[in-house]
Amino acid sequence: MNKKESTIKIIVKVYKSVLEIIPIQGIIVPFYYMVQGVFPAFITMISASLFDNVYNYIESGKDFERIVLFAIILLTGYSIQYIFRAIVSIPLNAGLYEKCSSFFRLKIAQKLAKIPLVNFENPEILNMKNRAQECVNREDLSAIFRMSSVFITNIISTVSVIIILINYHIWFLPISFLSVIPYFINRMIRGKEFYKLKYFQANKIRMRDYLFSLFTQKETVKEMRVMNFDSYIMKKWENVRDDVNEELWKFYKNECLSMMLCDFIRITGYAASIILSFILVINGELSIGVFGASIVAFSSVQSSIRAFLVEFGRIPEHIGFAKEYYNFLDIDEENDGEKLKIKQISTININNVSFNYPNSSCSAIKNVSLDIRKNETIAIIGENGSGKTTLSKLLLGIYKPTNGKILYNNQYLNNMDKAFLYKKISVVAQNFIRYKLSFRENIAISNIDKINEDEDIIHISLTNDINVTDNIDQILSKEFNGIELSGGQWQKIAIARAMFKNHEMIILDEPTSALDPIIETEILDKFIQLSKNKISIIISHRVGVCTKVDRIIVMKKGRIVEIGNHEELLKKNGEYSRLFKEQRKWYV
């Protein structure tokens, strides 16, 4: 979206969104506000007639029934207004705010599921997400819809009451406007200032929320307490929190002071209208009834104009956040190109691929070329930061190369149907998920059609040396009255989950880092046996598995520096030989 998109276009987008979610309530709400707009004029006219008849009755003792009639009309009008307001409050609150907010949150979640995953490495995209969520949390989109309805209400209300006031005396018009114009100016200025403040606070707010989240996670709380740095994190959180709050406090303090000035001018204007009405009564230009009604009408028109100008003045604030929401929804999504589908993965070609993370001038992967074939198990090794995990993400199409191409069966990966491709691939990520679900679900969630195949679940568990429970429906979390597992047990479950899926290719990214080297060797031996006739890629900084694989890819500083099998690379006496000699004691 063009960030300079007009206010009218944003309002049209909001109306389309709201009417898509709540078509009936979306029509009822504006109609309700339009009816509300004529009510002040109705009250003014009926009040004037009632006051005049009361005064006439006091003077002559006649026409008491007219007092009763106008009193009944007045009470009936108020009753209808309150009943209508009570009826409409349900679709207004439950529909306009609750349903719409849920829908807008869902749209953000759906967008997050579709944008390229590399965007999660981009601070600006994360800030855009934060501002979009801020828009939904503040209910700015619903407010724009309601505000535009209130806008119409206040126009109807103000125009109708002003016509009556002008009929009483022309001087009521300038006094009404001049006493409330400051509200409009104040809101226009403050609205823009608030939007700018929240725009530039996005990064601080993300940091504040992250630091607080550390106190809500069991693992981090344990480490902070044992290592005795919880007070440091708490202080850091307090500093960021106070910084954010201080900026907000300064804004709200200035806004409060400016609103007090506006209220003073409005009260002065109201006092001037009373004095004017009193002078007109003394001069015989207004009746007693009209005198009372004109004061009520003036108060009404002040309130209407004030509400109108305050709402109108908040347009820059609401529109600013709405633009951030629609800007985020307009971020380019993952493009699957021609949606190509392949029957079976037989070859993968990485051709001169380089990759830079967002906002980084340094390449994480540099001119990498590699051919991978079916029925081959390869190990990609290297020290931490050598680019192994980044290469695996490029290989899966999670990240797109900055330069170069990746081909599956000689077909460009960017043109493939990723959902179809991923059905053929299984992965154990470096930071795998520990699902607080049953043992059964933790294994079978990768192949949900076989979730009730107890024999297969038990077989893959035993194959991976998992024997943590006699009941496969046992919950794996004390938080839900289950059992707690060690890091090594969880790692075995993650590997079993990946192997339980029907796959043609499997990637294990640091799959055994929490395991003893001896157990690691046993698990990987079994893995290699089960992975025959498939493409198997093991990513590790440990070399224990390298004697078992077909080829070893050695990476350093984003480049492939050596390729070969165990014996070939030892003879070269290069990087692999150095790593193997350093780690040999772990496996002997």
Per-residue pLDDT reduced to its tens digit, 279-303: 877 877 767 776 776 677 667 666 6
Looking at residues 75-93, what average pLDDT do you find?
Answer: 71
CA angle 296, 302, 306 (to 5 degrees): 150
H helix intervals, 531-588: 566-572, 575-587
Distance CA 481, CA 501 (A): 28
Rg (CA), the chain: 35
Rounded CA separation 53/41 (Å): 19
Domain ranges for the chain, please list them: 7-329, 376-395+418-587
The fold for domain 7-329 equals ABC transporter transmembrane region fold (1.20.1560)
Higher pLDDT residue, 324 or 41?
324
Reduce the secondary structure of 84-128 to three states and give it as a string. HHHHHHHHHHHHHHHHHHHHHHHHHHHHHHHCCHHHHHCHHHHHH
CB count in 10 Å sphere of residue 124: 12
Least confident of 30-39, 65-74, 266-275, 372-381: 30-39
Question: Confidence class of residue 471 from pLDDT cuts 50, 70 and 90?
Answer: confident
Dihedral over Cα of 102, 134, 214, 509: its sign? positive
Residue 472, pLDDT > 60, answer yes
pLDDT at 307: 65
- Tell me the CATH number for domain 376-395+418-587: 3.40.50.300
Residue 539 has phi, psi (to 5 degrees) of -105, 125
Pairing, β 376-381 against β 535-540: parallel
Mean pLDDT of all residues in 339-357:
88
CB 291 within 8 A of CB 281: yes
Q: How far apart (Å, rounded) are the C-alpha atoms in residues 161 and 297?
A: 7
Of the candidate ranges 20-24, 414-418, 508-512, the one whose mean pLDDT is the lowest: 508-512
β-partners of residue 506 are 426, 536
Does position 337 have pLDDT exceeding 60, yes or no? no
Least reliable range by pLDDT among 82-96, 312-326, 419-433? 82-96
Closest CA to 167 of 57, 44, 43, 300: 44
Instruction: Please write down the HEC assignment for all residues of 126-171.
Output: HHHHHHHHHHHHCCHHHHHHHHHHHHHHHHHHHHHHHHHHHHHCCC
Token couple for 172: 């009521």
Q: Does residue 551 have a pLDDT over 90?
A: yes
Distance in angstroms (rounded) separating the CA atoms of residues 355 and 366: 7
In the predicted model, what is the mean pLDDT of the chain? 80
Q: Would you call 335 exposed, middle or buried from its count of C-beta atoms within 10 A (0-12, 13-18, 19+)?
A: exposed
What pLDDT is recorded for position 2?
45
Can you give the pTM of this predicted structure? 0.63
Q: Which of 191, 197, 194 is nearest to 313 (CA)?
A: 191
Residue 258 neighbours by CB distance under 10 Å:
17
Q: What residues contact 37, with CB distance under 8 A and at least 6 apart?
A: 152, 153, 154, 155, 156, 157, 160
Tell me the one-letter amino acid at 163.
I
CA dist., res. 491 & res. 487, Å (int):
6
The pLDDT of residue 1 is 42
Quick check: 351 pLDDT over 90? yes
pLDDT digits (tens, 9 = 90+) for 126-163: 888 888 888 888 888 888 887 777 676 667 767 777 77
Orientation of helix 100-114 relative to helix 123-137, angle to 10° = 170
- Around 520, how many Cα atoms within 13 Å sit in the side-chain half-sphere? 20
Q: Which two tokens stand for residue 577?
A: 């030989």
- If pLDDT is split at 50, 70 and 90, which confidence band does 259 have? confident
If you average pLDDT over each of 22-31, 215-224, 313-322, 559-568, which comes out highest? 559-568
Q: Establish whether domains 7-329 and 376-395+418-587 are of one fold.
A: no
Of 427 and 51, the one with more pLDDT: 427
Q: Rounded to 5 degrees, what angle do the CA atoms 414, 560, 117 make?
A: 35
